[in-house]
Amino acid sequence: MMAIPIHHDAIMTPSSFSCLVVEDEPAMRKFIRVGLEASQFRVLLAETRKEGIEMFVSHNPDVVLLDLGLPDGDGLDLIKTVREFSGTPIVVLSARGLESDKVNALDAGADDYLTKPFGMPELMARVRAVQRRQLPVATSPTLSFGDLTIELANRRVTKNGELVHLTPIEYSLLTMFVKHPDKVLTHRMLLESVWGPSYVRHNHYVRVHVAELRKKIEADPVRPKHLVTESGVGYRWMSP
Amino acid sequence: MQSDGRPNPDELLELINRSEKNERGGQLRLFFGFAPGVGKTYRMLQAAHERLADGEEVAVGIVYSHKRTDTERLVSGLPVIPCRLVEYRGHMLEEFDLDAVLKRRPTLVLVDELAHSNAPGSRHKKRWQDVVELLDAGINVYSTLNVQHIESLNDVVAQVTGVAVKETVPDDVFDRVNQLELVDLSAEELLERLAEGKVYLGEQADRAANNFFRKSNLLALRELAMRQAADHVDAEAIVAGDGKSGAIGTRLLVCVGGAPSSADLIRRARRMAAQTHAPWFAVSVRSPQQAHDSRVDQHLKLAESLGATTARIESSERANALVAFATKHRVNQIVVGKPKHARFWDRVRGSFLQELIRESGQIDVHVVEGVAAPDGDVHVGPNSATPSASPDAYGWAAFIVLLATSFAHLARVTLGVPDVVMLYLLCVMWVAYQFGRGPSLLAAAISVAAFDFFFVPPFFTFAVDDAQYLLSFSTLFGVGFAISTLTSRLRNEERAATKRAEEAHVLSSLSKELVGVHRDESAGKIAAEHVARLLGRTVALKLSPSFNDGETPELYSVPAHHIWQPKSMGVLNWTLQHGRSAGFGTTTLPTAEVYAVPLVVDSRRVGALMVEVDAEFPLGPSDAAFLSKVADHLAILLDRMFLARSAKAADLKVERERIRGDLLSSVSHDLRTPLAVITGAASTLNEHRGLDLTSRDDLVSTICTQAAVLERRVAQILEMTRLAGANPDLHKEWVPWSELVGSALSDVSALIGKREVQLSLVPEDGGAEVDGLLIGKLLVNLIENAHKHSPPDVPITVTVTEKNGGLSPGDGEAQNLGKHWLIAVGDRGAGVPAEERQRVFERFFQGHGSTSGVGLGLAICKSIARLHQGDIQVVQNEGGGALFVCRLPWTPAPRYDGDPDPS
């Protein structure tokens, strides 16, 4: 694992917080810049993959907003290059209908994605979420999400105070989710960490166990509050 | 009938076509002389030097200098493409290298001696074929030729000089000459040069040459050459637009039979036609009773090689049919041979000639004496022999008569003389039926002898006591002869009929097999397989590139993995390219062990068919004829299939264009409306800075909502385009219904707000093998649709149930469905009127009272259901409203074997 730089004071002082926007469409660039600057961010702009990597190296931004379709190559390459030496959060911007691109970007190390067209509030929410995840996780042995409590130390899960019986797989899945709150986890990531790398093609394993897990921890498994589906991409654990 | 001497339009058109063809291909300039030694080669080299001086790219393909220094000097000034060296019977022969020239592609190449025969193993048998290929490839050629080598003059020259020339050039090649240069010398001068040793005569110089170079010969040849050159100039004048050549209205027909004299008749007709530049036809007419005569095929082939259009007519009224053909083709002169048979037969069968003359009306009939050429004069196509009885058959004939004799001799006490005669007649008849005419005549002769020897007193001698027996003998022999003639004719007819029936059956079964086939790919395969089965040979079929999409493999071999020699493939490709047969028995690549025929319809080259020929499967003329019949039939079938297919493709294209048109008109309306609102609101905000806060907020939120509308519509249009595409990818995975419905509900939550959705999933943990994103979209569209068309306070119902069996709920045939999923989305709105229930799923359909949306939502649902081998329909919901029911195939839940160690 690489060392992940941690910005302790990032959210408190936005003006010191820099955001690199790699986007070839001038209108999009303008809209994002205006929006971010209105929220007191320092904005760096790049038009191509090459320029993006150069800016990243020279300015070391706190977050990257990356358009996947760049004129000089796939944005995916930029993710891979950056991930070789840095854990800086990357949010991918991509059009609707290109779900497999999003999955590839997430599997390559992107932290989140936004489907175009998006509004400024959605963008800010994503940026804040990835930023928050950079903060050190409280090493509390007990996590609490509304009606749900998870005691990591003794593997106990309770819903409204009642003990929930989970199989080992369901428990592994649950801990994987709660350790990455608000982050989209693709099927591949879940299969790799819970079942092992040789199972990455068995997407239905995840689906079956997520359905089981939901029956046990959600009030209404079809309308989940904690473990929501990101269509065609994966699942996201919603922190309250 | 045209007899006014005006140029016939067809004729002119043909000439113009020919000259156009020449313009596209290379130009042929021929240095034409009447005998060796007049200086053709020398003159050709001089002309080449002139071209070279003009800066043209000239090359010498092959030139025979015969060691003459002045000629050699001229050659050495030109770039030479080296000859191929071919070993033939221990000699090294220099041969013109066609491929080297084609590869180098000079603009002009010199090829001496057009009539030369190539060494065995060359691509073509004759050099003129090499030249034709060069011209077709667009390379200009200079060549030389003596008059006696022209095919149609061949026999004249032989008559005049007494020297037969074997190497001939077909007249249509000569007609193709663009520039004819007569290289002339007086006979005296030529003889002088000969005396000085300046004329090269080859190895067998003296005797033949002495015969040939007689002054009378030379004068005759010179005249022939000059006339030929003059004729050629005439033809050029017509092409050039003068069109005043007197007899251009002439159209000639020669009637061809199987007699050897027909070949001569054809040559004479060709000369008559050439003198007047008339198009000419060679036609064989036979009555259905006549047996097939392979010599007729040869004669027709000869005529074709001399430039005739050939045809076969089969009719019991031969003269009538011939005149009808002639009238149809505006023929005004018919050439027929003088009858050779005894007048007696005319009495019996009626005279064809007399009938023809009576029927001919305005058509002139020329009756010409045809000279029977010695055997082997006609060398066209594979050698043939009329089937004759084997020596075995004669043995059998003798044996059977002897058998009958011994039987009759043993039973002589009970048998009377007439019985014995009858028995012999029976034997003769049977032999005639089994073995044909020759053996039956033998049987008749032996019968007479045996009858005399054993049954006519005095016994056991050939002497005859009673003269009345002589009459018996002659009657026995005469009746035997008549029987044998009739029986063998009957047998031939029966065989011909059987063969025709077989062929007809074979062709019709080929049609039947191909009729059901719609894709050319399998058509080619089926055709090749069928032909292979039919002939019992190894077969290859290759289709023209223009007759396939470039996707399907062009070559079909049966057996499928047969490895063809490169030479064989060369034959196939050559046939495909040139539309003429090649390989074994032809003049192109004759050493190959394959025979290929083109598949041609109306001069469209559909493909080529090739069969293997070897010792085990020799290729007789009837095989070749049958093969070309199969090829013609196949060509028509395949061509028709291709036409149908391209028509269908065109229909599809029209349909696609129509959809695109619909889409565009829909887009322009449905996208413009939100765009107009956004533009208006944004420009208002831009210009009126002083707006109060409420108005500003109002406009801004209008922009936001309209932008969302716009986005959704664009997404729908894109989705529809993708689904309507040729092959949308489906990413099928097993997904639980709870997840599918759940994510659909979360997608629509923003739109439907707090409205209640009643869910029912039975069984609770069921799932389906589907493209999750697409099924999600289907659910979203159905829920949105229900939301839009029903009052906001009543719940929407979504149910997913597993159903086992049952009949298809729709109209039409009842069909057992097996296990399937039913996904139903119901509302309590106005419902869909019965007459609109089909149409709601059509693209761009706007239901009554519906004003928003592109009219694509339900069409998308239908496409998605179809892509999953399901369907969708709308019915009246129990208790009012619409119920949309989508049926999807049931798939078992996937196996789960992935529990890791419970650690």
Range B376-381 average pLDDT: 33
Question: A200, A229, A236, A238: which to substitute to probe chain B, counting the most B Cβ within 10 Å?
Answer: A229
Residue of A99, A195, A221 with shortest CB distance to B773: A99
Closest chain A C-alpha to B748 CA, distance in angstroms: 12
Residue B469, judged by CB atoms within 10 A of its CB (0-12, 13-18, 19+), counts as middle
Q: Report chain A residues whose CB lies below 8 A from the CB of B903.
A: 168
Q: B742 vs A168: CB contact, 8 Å cut-off?
A: no
Q: A229 vs B733: CB contact, 8 Å cut-off?
A: no
- Residue of B394 and B260 predicted with greater confidence: B394
> At A93, is the secondary structure helix, strand, or coil?
strand
| pLDDT score of B848 | 59
Q: Report chain B residues whose CB lies below 8 A from the CB of A226.
A: none
**Closest residue on chain B to A196 (Cα):** B900
Q: A168 vs B902: CB contact, 8 Å cut-off?
A: yes
Number of residue pairs across A and B with CB atoms under 8 Å?
73
Question: What is the pLDDT confidence band of residue B689, given thresholds at 50, 70 and 90?
Answer: confident
Closest chain B C-alpha to A4 CA, distance in angstroms: 29
Q: Which of A219-233, B495-509, B814-828, B838-852 has the highest mean pLDDT?
A: A219-233
Smallest CA-to-CA distance from A39 within A55, A63, A56 is with A63
Closest chain B C-alpha to A186 CA, distance in angstroms: 15
Q: A204 vs B902: CB contact, 8 Å cut-off?
A: no
Q: Is A122 on the interface with B (CB under 8 A)?
A: no
A145-158: per-residue pLDDT in tens?
888 999 888 889 99
Question: Nearest 5°: CA angle at B593, between B580 and B130?
Answer: 45
Rounded Cα gap, residues A18 and A154, in angstroms: 41
Smallest CA-to-CA distance from A79 within A60, A107, A58, A100 is with A107
> At B789, is the secondary structure helix, strand, or coil?
coil
Q: A97 vs B719: CB contact, 8 Å cut-off?
A: yes
| pLDDT score of A83 | 92
Rounded Cα gap, residues A228 and A49, in angstroms: 33
- Residue of B669 and B531 predicted with greater confidence: B531
| Cβ proximity of A48 and A80 under 8 Å | no
The sheet carrying A156-159 orders its strands as A142-145, A148-151, A156-159, A162-164
Q: Where are the alpha helices (DSSP H) in B240-278?
A: 261-275
Q: B896 vs A168: CB contact, 8 Å cut-off?
A: no
Smallest CA-to-CA distance from B716 within B863, B883, B888, B868 is with B863
| pLDDT score of B899 | 58
Q: B742 vs A196: CB contact, 8 Å cut-off?
A: no
Rounded Cα gap, residues B58 and B53, in angstroms: 10
Q: Which amino acid is at B258?
A: G
What 8-state DSSP symbol labels residue B547? G
Q: Is A121 on the interface with B (CB under 8 A)?
A: no
Q: A231 vs B772: CB contact, 8 Å cut-off?
A: yes
Closest chain B C-alpha to A206 CA, distance in angstroms: 10
Kindly tell me if the per-residue pLDDT of B322 is higher than 70: yes
* Lowest mean per-residue pLDDT among A148-152, A210-214, B338-342: B338-342
Q: Does residue B559 have a cis bond before it (omega within 30 degrees)?
A: yes
Q: Is A232 on the interface with B (CB under 8 A)?
A: yes
Q: A222 vs B738: CB contact, 8 Å cut-off?
A: yes
First-residue to last-residue Cα distance in chain B: 106
Q: Report chain B residues whose CB lies below 8 A from the CB of A195.
A: 898, 900
First-residue to last-residue Cα distance in chain A: 29
Q: B902 vs A167: CB contact, 8 Å cut-off?
A: yes
Interface predicted TM-score (ipTM):
0.84
**Closest residue on chain B to A200 (Cα):** B898
Q: B772 vs A97: CB contact, 8 Å cut-off?
A: no
Calculate the alpha carbon distances from B682 to A117, B677, B685 in Å.
18, 8, 5
| Cβ proximity of A174 and A166 under 8 Å | yes
> At A238, is the secondary structure helix, strand, or coil?
coil
- Residue of B817 and B875 predicted with greater confidence: B875
Rounded Cα gap, residues B101 and B480, in angstroms: 67
| Cβ proximity of B3 and B249 under 8 Å | yes
Calculate the alpha carbon distances from B397 to A226, B407, B438, B454 in Å.
105, 16, 10, 18
C-alpha R_g of chain A: 19
Question: Nearest 5°: CA angle at B335, between B332 and B339?
Answer: 140
Residue of A169, A204, A222 with shortest CB distance to B734: A204
Q: How many residues does chain B have?
A: 903
Helices and strands (H, E) in chain A, number of each type: 8, 14
| Cβ proximity of A91 and A131 under 8 Å | no
**Closest residue on chain B to A210 (Cα):** B739
Q: B739 vs A210: CB contact, 8 Å cut-off?
A: yes
Question: B718, B721, B739: which to substitute to probe chain A, counting the most A Cβ within 10 Å?
Answer: B739
**Closest residue on chain A to B722 (Cα):** A97
Q: What is the pTM of this model?
A: 0.47
**Closest residue on chain A to B774 (Cα):** A232
Question: What is the pLDDT confidence band of residue B726, given thresholds at 50, 70 and 90?
Answer: low
Smallest CA-to-CA distance from B141 within B118, B113, B107 is with B107
B416-475: per-residue pLDDT in tens?
878 888 888 888 888 887 787 788 888 888 888 888 888 887 788 777 777 777 887 888
Rounded Cα gap, residues B615 and B660, in angstroms: 61
A109-119: per-residue pLDDT in tens?
999 999 888 88
Residue B171, judged by CB atoms within 10 A of its CB (0-12, 13-18, 19+), counts as buried
Q: What is the DSSP string of B617-653?
A: S---HHHHHHHHHHHHHHHHHHHHHHHHHHHHHHHHH
Q: Name the CA dihedral angle for B467, B470, B472, B476, rounded to a multiple of 10 degrees.
A: 170
> At B264, is the secondary structure helix, strand, or coil?
helix
| pLDDT score of A91 | 94
Rounded Cα gap, residues B118 and B126, in angstroms: 5
Question: What is the pLDDT confidence band of residue B516, given thresholds at 50, 70 and 90?
Answer: low
Closest chain B C-alpha to A222 CA, distance in angstroms: 5
Closest chain A C-alpha to B713 CA, distance in angstroms: 13
Rounded Cα gap, residues A134 and B578, in angstroms: 76
Token duo for residue A90: 């990357």
**Closest residue on chain B to A166 (Cα):** B902
Kindly tell me if the per-residue pLDDT of B478 is higher than 90: no
Q: Is A35 on the interface with B (CB under 8 A)?
A: no
> At B611, is the secondary structure helix, strand, or coil?
strand
| pLDDT score of A213 | 93
Q: Report chain A residues whose CB lies below 8 A from the CB of B746.
A: 223, 228-229
Q: Name the CA dihedral angle for B838, B841, B843, B847, rounded to a multiple of 10 degrees.
A: 80
Rounded Cα gap, residues B277 and B232, in angstroms: 9
* Lowest mean per-residue pLDDT among B67-71, B125-129, B143-147: B67-71
Calculate the alpha carbon distances from B383 to B295, B586, B711 in Å.
10, 10, 79
Rounded Cα gap, residues B399 and B660, in angstroms: 85
Q: Report chain B residues whose CB lies below 8 A from the CB of A229.
A: 739, 742-743, 746
Closest chain A C-alpha to B569 CA, distance in angstroms: 46
Residue of A97, A202, A214 with shortest CB distance to B718: A97
Helices and strands (H, E) in chain B, number of each type: 26, 24
> At B177, is the secondary structure helix, strand, or coil?
coil
Range A98-112 average pLDDT: 88
Q: A222 vs B741: CB contact, 8 Å cut-off?
A: yes
Rounded Cα gap, residues B142 and B140, in angstroms: 7
Q: A97 vs B722: CB contact, 8 Å cut-off?
A: yes
Closest chain B C-alpha to A33 CA, distance in angstroms: 19
Closest chain A C-alpha to B701 CA, distance in angstroms: 12
* Lowest mean per-residue pLDDT among B9-13, B537-541, B625-629, B817-821: B9-13
Rounded Cα gap, residues B593 and B616, in angstroms: 11
Question: Nearest 5°: CA angle at B565, between B562 and B570?
Answer: 115
Residue of A167, A207, A224 with shortest CB distance to B735: A207
Calculate the alpha carbon distances from B448 to B126, B412, B414, B701 in Å.
56, 17, 20, 124
Q: Report chain B residues whose CB lies below 8 A from the CB of A224.
A: 742
**Chain A residues 131-190 with CB within 8 Å of chain B:** 167-169
Closest chain A C-alpha to B893 CA, distance in angstroms: 9
Rounded Cα gap, residues A66 and A63, in angstroms: 10
Q: A97 vs B736: CB contact, 8 Å cut-off?
A: no
Residue of B718, B733, B902 with shortest CB distance to A204: B733
Q: Report chain B residues whose CB lies below 8 A from the CB of A119.
A: 704
| pLDDT score of A5 | 46
Number of C-beta neighbours around residue B117 at 10 A: 16
